Structure formats: structure tokens, C-alpha cells
Structure 1
Amino acid sequence: MNENIENSQRTPFHEIDLIKLAKQYGTPLYIYDSEKMKDQFQKLKNSFLDIQKLTINYACKANTNLNILKFLKKMGCGLDTVSIQEIKIGLKAGFLPDEIIFTPNGVSIKEVKNAVELGVRIHLDNLSILEQFGEYFPHHSIGIRINPHVMAGGNSKISVGHIDSKFGISYYQIPHMNQILKNTGLKIEGLHMHTGSDISEIQSFINGAKVLLRIAKDFPNLDYIDFGSGFKVPYQKKDDQTDLTLLSKYITELFQHFCKNYGKIITLIFEPGKFLVSESGCFLVSVNVIKHTVSTIFAGIDSGFNHFIRPMFYNAYHHIENISNPKGRFRFYNVVGYICESDNFGLNRKISEIREGDILCIQNAGAYCFSMSSNYNSRYRPSEVMMIDGKDFLIRKRESMTDLLRNIVEIQI
């Protein structure tokens, strides 16, 4: 690791008194800065100003807190959902049904039928469900998720557009798909793809876009093309990220050329999740214990992969800073959690000297962090706080023993 990267990056929350918030709400604690979400939304929107009809749908699986959805709705976002529960949260947040797209994978026809009842737009990504859907809802308008056979993404767990992926209908299967459409009278209103997450190489986007647009020309009644997302955000100061300026140049040119030949202007949709909220979040934890072994110093914190699984699940890097002692001398630490398995937040990290009781700030905690949390080891999930116009608002209470036992049915044994 480049030590200059580790030492020079500083929390984007420098104008927020994080220590005060940690004392006020306790740790572990998620904090989200709404201004960063707003900045990211405007950055993406401004990158595609030459697209006449542009829709940005927030991929809410990244973070489904109702208040974040309400804020992004206010900014002008639509919503990308993958479950009935996400649809219902979106409706409660104020999104209209036609502002929500449901793009499930591997769900039953029962769940898809529930989505129809809720009035949202639907993307289907396999032939079996497509055929069943056509039997229940002939002549209904739907979208199709295409597998473009493009390998992209930061690692194999988030690469979802390759030929062996479980996501999408392979473009080799389009003749079969067309037969189903003919037999059922289903109307295709949009085509969708998503090739992966954390994509810094824009050629992956371009390759996928070319495949989708080549397919789209054979569907004369489309309302939209949905290019998904996967835009990479930096997790380190000099980290690679998606070059939106360059990407927008190529995508805009491709899309405008397509619309000209297609004979009408249709809507272009992007579905960012991590791009909108990842950098807006930080995670505050307290140091329980400093433990020395023969070769390592461990900083044991009051959290674990039950709250923040990305480093363990994806081998993801998250910058860690000691905000209690920012000017202390630097030492190397393994920052670890309190779960009874390997539970590493960062290995061999150069951090200003950590003492028991110090508060550490873990960055890029807005996406796929709380949303992937659990009650493993019967631990409570933490609180969430949102900063709006410089004021802090509690947007999720810390769990209690009542929450852990709420749905247990106790029997006589």
C-alpha cells in the first residue's frame, strides 16, 4: 500500500464535530452527509447535460433508510428496487409507482405479480418468468434485462454481466424471447443492463452500451434504455474512479446517434447506488482494547462484520482515521472487530497512535454497509444519523433487546 495515500487522506466530514456526535449518540454510529449526496447527484446529472431525456434512479439496495430515499426523491431521483419490500419503502418515501423500476433476480412469479399490483415498472431477466408473466398479464408493458456478456466490476462477486452470470437474458436467447413476446402479446417498453460495480475502465460501459443499442434497434416501441450503473468512487485519495467526463462523451455520442436512427428521442436511465451515497457516509467506532502480540498491534473496536461486512466480504478497502488523536505519532495496526471469527477492518494500517477509548472514523460507509448489517452474535444494529443543512438528525434508533426478541415465538419446553 502507498503510505502517502493512507496518511494524506482526511475525512470528508472535517466540518462536522464527529467526536461530539459520537458522545451524543454513542458508538458504533453511521453518519450520512446529505450535501455529499446532493453533490454526487448534480455531478452525474451535469455530466450528461446533452442527453435530452435523462433519468437517474437511485439503486436503493445500497442504503434503504427511508430518510435517504426521501432526500434523493427531493433531489429529483427515481428509484431502482430489487424486492417488494424496497418498492414499499419507496412508495412510503413518496415515489410514485411509475418512478419506481423493479428489477428482481431469481424471485417467484408471485412476487412479480405483487409488483404489478403496486403499479411499478418491471424488468424481467429470465425466460421462465417472462413466459409465466405473459400468461397472467398478456399485452402488459415490461422491460427486459439483457446480459451483454461483458466482464466488468471491481471483483468477481460484483461482476454481473458476464456470460455465466445469473443476471439477465443472454442476447443469444433473444429469438426465444421474441417467440414468447409473440405468443403473449407482451409489449417491451425498455431494455436494461448492469455489468457490475466499481468499474473504472470506461470501455466496459461502452462495450455494454453498444450491445444494448444494437439489440434495441429491433424493438420499435421503446420508451427508454437503462444502462444501469457501476460507477466507481475513490476509496483512497489516488484511487481509480470512473471518468464521467470521458464516459459521458462516448455514451452521449452513441445514444444520440441511436435516437437519430431510431426516429425518436427516448429516455436514458442510469441507476447509481454507491456513486450517490458511498462517500456521504462514515462509521464511528470506539476502541475497546489495544492488544500486542509478538509481531502485531491489534486495535479492537466495538463493532464487527455484523455491522460492516464489506472488508471481509469483498476484501474492500476503507480508510480508517483516529479522530481522537489525529496528530499522534503513526504506528501500524490491525483494526479488528469483536465477532468470533476473523473480523478485520484493516490490516497493517498506518494510523496515528490509537489508545483505548479513542474514536475511529471509517470512511465510504454510505453504501452496502448498514444495508448489509445483521444481528450476528446477537448484537444490536447501530444508530444512523443524517446531516441536513448543518444539523444532525437521528434517522434510525439503536436496536435493543426488545428488537432481538420481537419475532421470537417462545414455546413451553
Structure 2
Amino acid sequence: MNTKYSDLIDQTYYFPQEEFKLEGSELRFHDIDLMDLVKKYGAPLKFTYLPKISENIKKAKLWFNNAIEKHDYKGSYNYCYCTKSSHFEHVLNEALKNDIHIETSSAFDINIVEKLKTSGKITDDTYVICNGFKRDQYVENIARLLNNGHRNCIPIIDNYEELDLLTERIDGKFEIGIRIASEEEPKFEFYTSRLGIGYKNIVPFYNKTIRENEQVHLRMLHFFINTGIRDTAYYWNELNKCLKVYINLKKVCPHLDSLNIGGGFPVKNSLAFEYDYEYMIDEIINQIKLACEEAGVDVPNIFTEFGSFTVGESGGAIYEVLYQKQQNDREKWNMINSSFITTLPDTWAISKKFVMLAINRWNDEYERVLLGGLTCDSDDYYNSEQHTNAIYLPKFKKEKPLYIGFFNTGAYQDTIGGFGGLQHCLIPQPKHILIDRDEEGNIRTELFSEQQKAEDMLAILGYSRDN
């Protein structure tokens, strides 16, 4: 009878997979000895496997360059990293090894850009694409960057007032983009994105405000789909509408030469995940070329903004199962030594799923369980299909510690969770480990941050002040 946890995984998925394999009864991730991490640093812990960032960037650049060559596409390709996915210096340092550009979304992003310039990680040739709703501090920072000589900074106009705010502070000529306010999927609570300018209003806006403005050149049209780049009728329809805007705008605006297709690629969230990245890229390039040829206009240079795809699959979290609570005849709750709300907030906020696997005891029998966090909040739990099914793990045995891992968690979780700040129910932030490889390919680890202490939180709350 196949009752072992390893049997269950083998029967349910294709296993092993590119990044996952079994060594005895223990799981390895990119050949990292996860139990050795636990023995060295303890649990709970978070980790970032830095080489995965470069690997994904190189893959995307190769796929785009192959498609451009196949279709004899005359435009160039530029890979941008969305800093909002993870602002950490170690992430930017790794990403910038790969000749990429940066997309920002708020004022303090520009301060990070300036730090990177000072350290020589980026130069004036690096494109800085400034998205987001812009008001005083963001506008001031963008203007400072441009006025100090970074002419490849391109503010993306989100609303009609931003152009005046920028021209008041920026010296000399500069380039801009315009963001299209794409229509959302029918299941959304609203019809049109709050970000950008409507399809029908972009050409009139250009003719009225930009065309005769000698200070400003419109360089880029920005197209962003909230649900990401997916092979759906909705996505292809929105791309087609975007191309019509680009073509109409190009006919009256000779400076326009770039199309930014934001939205990003999906990240693997299950061992059953399937997505044909190469096909999607090939078809996007093909559709853009066909539309432009039919209209008799030059194809645009392509910019992409990949945040989650860049950094998501580099991250992971490891927890220990502390205790099992049998709440009724059907539900067993495995309590972890941390909180999902604080360490993986997307599982609670948007019911996001990550790859979840046992780290050890794969040769033990399995059981059906629910996973609960340490906070006193009823929403602090995780299962395979939020609010639907339970999950399966090796049977809980108090004398045999069980560790579980969540993988591909590298995007957004730390910033949304408030890294280094207050956590719900004052559950401490776990240790964070950086994992890299030396020139010979050997694994090396570094402690990036210790687990939060009571003193850290009390200081934030004001208890360290003199009364």
C-alpha cells in the first residue's frame, strides 16, 4: 500500500522537478540542503536564493531575443525590474548584474536609484521608468534625477495634471510616457483601471497638451494588465486595443518609439503549474509586428516590467509544526511556529497559493490537515484551496519534528508584511538568510537579519522612551 508522503507527491504530480528533488527522506530546493539550513539557523526562517533572480532574467531576455530574431522584428528589447516587488539591496544587486533597467512606483524609489548610481550599480544609460500616481515628493525626486543628468528617466503620465507638475520643476527638455487605463476583466468590481488615461482620450490629450510643447517629447506608451500576461481572450483583446492606440499616436507623434507591456509573467504556485512563456512572447512580438505592418508604421522598441517573475521564485519560508489540535472528528490543525498573516500576507489578503511541501519525513505516512498560525485571528490559516480543501503532510508525531516549506514567496511578502516593523499580535519577523553560490558553484549562506526581539517592537511602540 502506498501510504508514504513521497508516494502521495509522486502520484499527484510529476516529481522530481527542475528545482525540487528528494535526498533520502528530505526535500532539496535548487540542491540546497534545507534541513541543514534549519539545523544551522533554526526555524522559522525566510531565505532568498539569489542565483534564481539572474536565472529568470536571462531566460526572459533569451526568449524575447529569439522571438525578435525569428520574426525579423526591427525594434529592441529592454528588461525592467519593478522595484516594488522587493526593494532589498541584495535583490537589486543581483538583478543589476544582468544589464537591466528599473521601474519605480513612488518617491522613495528615486532615492534608491540615486544610491545605486552613487555605488556604480547603474549609470545614466539605465532607463528609470517612473510609474504611479505622482504628487509633490515623487515629482520633486524625478525632477532632481533628471536635472542631475539622468536623461533616461522617463516619467509615465498617469493623469492630466502630472505633466504641468513635472514641467514646472524639470529644467530643459525631457521624455515622457503615457499609461493606458486598461479595461479590467469582467469579474472585477470596476470596469476601468484607476491608473492611466482612457484609450479614447490619449490622442486628444497628446494633440492638446504635448504636441506643441517644445519641452516634452512623448517617447513611450505604457500598457499594463492587472491580471498579468496570460493566454486569454481578455488579454489579446486588450493588447489589440493598445496597439490601435499606439498606431494612431505614432501617426501624429514622430518621437513615439517604445511600447511598455507591463503586467508581468505568472510565477509557479503549484507543482502542477504550466505556462508556455516562449509561446506567449513569440505571439506578442508577432501580433505587434503584424499590427504595425498593416498600419504602415515602424514597430516600437519593447519594454517589459517584470517584478514577481524576477524575484518571486527566489524566496522561501520554513516553519516547524509545533503541535496538532484535533478540533472535531474530521479537522486536525497543525500549528506552525509563526503566522501566515505576518510572514505570507498574500495568503490572507488575496487567498494566494504558494508551493507548499514537507521539508523532512517524506518516508512517513501522511494525513489530511489544516495549517494554523500563531495569531488569535481566525483568518491566520493556510490550505491548498483557501476555504475549500485541506492539505496533506506527514503524520504529526511530537517526538519527530516536522518542518514545512513555502516556496516562490520572494515578491511582495516582506514589504506588505512590514519588514522590521510591527506584526499582528506582535509575532516576531523570522530570521532572513541569503543564499548564493561561489565561482565553483558551492552554496554559501549569510544571515541578513535576525529574528525580531521584544525590544525592537517595544521601541517602535514608544515603550523605550523616558516617561
Same fold (TM over 0.5): yes
- Residues 58 and 79 of structure 1 are in contact (CA less than 8 Å); yes or no, is this contact kept in structure 2? yes
Q: 1:350 aligns with which of 392, 396, 407?
A: 392
Determine the C-alpha separation between the residues in 2 that align with 1:75 and 1:126. Answer: 33
SS at match of 2:225: coil
Q: Which region of structure 1 is more displaced relative to structure 2, 95-104 or 279-288?
A: 95-104
Q: What is the match of residue 71 of structure 2?
A: none
Shift of 1:297: 0.7
SS at match of 1:64: coil
Q: What is the match of residue 282 of structure 1?
A: 316
Q: Which region of structure 1 is more displaced relative to structure 2, 390-399 or 364-373?
A: 390-399
What is the CA RMSD across the aligned residues, in angstroms?
2.9
Distance verdict in 2 for CA 1:91–1:379, change over 3 Å: farther
Q: What is the match of residue 207 of structure 1?
A: 237
- Normalised TM-score (structure 2): 0.78
SS at match of 2:92: helix
Matches within 5 A, 1:169-208: 169-174=197-202, 175-182=204-211, 184-185=213-214, 186-208=216-238
Q: 2:417 aligns with which of 373, 390, 413?
A: 373
Q: What is the match of residue 165 of structure 1?
A: 193
Shift of 1:9: 7.1
SS at match of 1:56: strand
Shift of 1:317: 1.6
Determine the C-alpha separation between the residues in 2 that align with 1:178 and 1:371. Answer: 40
Q: 2:372 aligns with which of 332, 336, 344?
A: 336
Distance verdict in 2 for CA 1:366–1:201, change over 3 Å: same
Determine the C-alpha separation between the residues in 2 that align with 1:371 and 1:9. Answer: 32
Matches within 5 A, 1:3-402: 4-5=11-12, 12=20, 13=29, 15-49=31-65, 50-51=67-68, 52-93=75-116, 94-96=121-123, 98-105=126-133, 107-119=134-146, 120-137=153-170, 139-151=173-185, 156=188, 163-174=191-202, 175-182=204-211, 184-185=213-214, 186-217=216-247, 218=249, 219-241=253-275, 243-257=276-290, 266-294=300-328, 295-304=330-339, 305-341=341-377, 342-346=379-383, 348-356=390-398, 357-374=401-418, 375-376=422-423, 377-389=425-437, 390-402=443-455
- Residues 322 and 358 of structure 1 are in contact (CA less than 8 Å); yes or no, is this contact kept in structure 2? yes
Shift of 1:53: 1.2
Q: State the Cα deviation string for residues 260-297 of structure 1 (Å, max 9, x = none).
A: 66765642111111112222221111222211111211
Q: Which runs of 5+ in 2 are unaligned?
A: 1-7, 21-28, 69-74, 147-152, 384-388, 438-442
Determine the C-alpha separation between the residues in 2 that align with 1:5 and 1:236. Answer: 11
Q: Which runs of 5+ in 1 are unaligned?
A: none
Determine the C-alpha separation between the residues in 1 that align with 2:14 and 2:274. Answer: 18
Determine the C-alpha separation between the residues in 2 that align with 1:401 and 1:338. Answer: 16
Shift of 1:402: 4.4
Q: Which region of structure 1 is more displaced relative to structure 2, 11-20 or 181-190?
A: 181-190
Structure possessing the higher radius of gyration over alpha carbons: 2
SS at match of 2:343: coil
Determine the C-alpha separation between the residues in 1 that align with 2:41 and 2:109. Answer: 27
SS at match of 2:282: helix
Determine the C-alpha separation between the residues in 1 that align with 2:184 and 2:92. Answer: 30
Q: State the Cα deviation string for residues 355-408 of structure 1 (Å, max 9, x = none).
A: 454221112211222232132222332232222212222333433344334555
- Residues 320 and 361 of structure 1 are in contact (CA less than 8 Å); yes or no, is this contact kept in structure 2? yes
- Residues 229 and 266 of structure 2 are in contact (CA less than 8 Å); yes or no, is this contact kept in structure 1? yes
Aligned AA (1:344): Y
Aligned AA (1:102): C
- Normalised TM-score (structure 1): 0.87
Distance verdict in 2 for CA 1:99–1:395, change over 3 Å: farther
Distance verdict in 2 for CA 1:279–1:110, change over 3 Å: closer
SS at match of 1:310: helix
Identity %: 21
Distance verdict in 2 for CA 1:224–1:327, change over 3 Å: same
Q: What is the match of residue 72 of structure 2?
A: none
Distance verdict in 2 for CA 1:20–1:262, change over 3 Å: farther
Determine the C-alpha separation between the residues in 2 that align with 1:398 and 1:71. Answer: 24
Determine the C-alpha separation between the residues in 2 that align with 1:147 and 1:53. Answer: 25
Shift of 1:136: 4.1
Aligned AA (2:452): E
Q: Which region of structure 1 is more displaced relative to structure 2, 250-259 or 381-390?
A: 250-259
Q: Which region of structure 1 is more displaced relative to structure 2, 95-104 or 163-172?
A: 95-104
Distance verdict in 2 for CA 1:190–1:338, change over 3 Å: same
Determine the C-alpha separation between the residues in 1 that align with 2:108 and 2:38. Answer: 31
Distance verdict in 2 for CA 1:91–1:197, change over 3 Å: farther
SS at match of 1:284: strand
Determine the C-alpha separation between the residues in 2 that align with 1:156 and 1:230. Answer: 19
SS at match of 1:89: helix
Aligned AA (1:267): N
- Residues 146 and 170 of structure 1 are in contact (CA less than 8 Å); yes or no, is this contact kept in structure 2? yes
Q: State the Cα deviation string for residues 23-72 of structure 1 (Å, max 9, x = none).
A: 32232222222332233222211211143511111112222221111001
SS at match of 1:306: helix
Determine the C-alpha separation between the residues in 2 that align with 1:408 and 1:245. Answer: 50
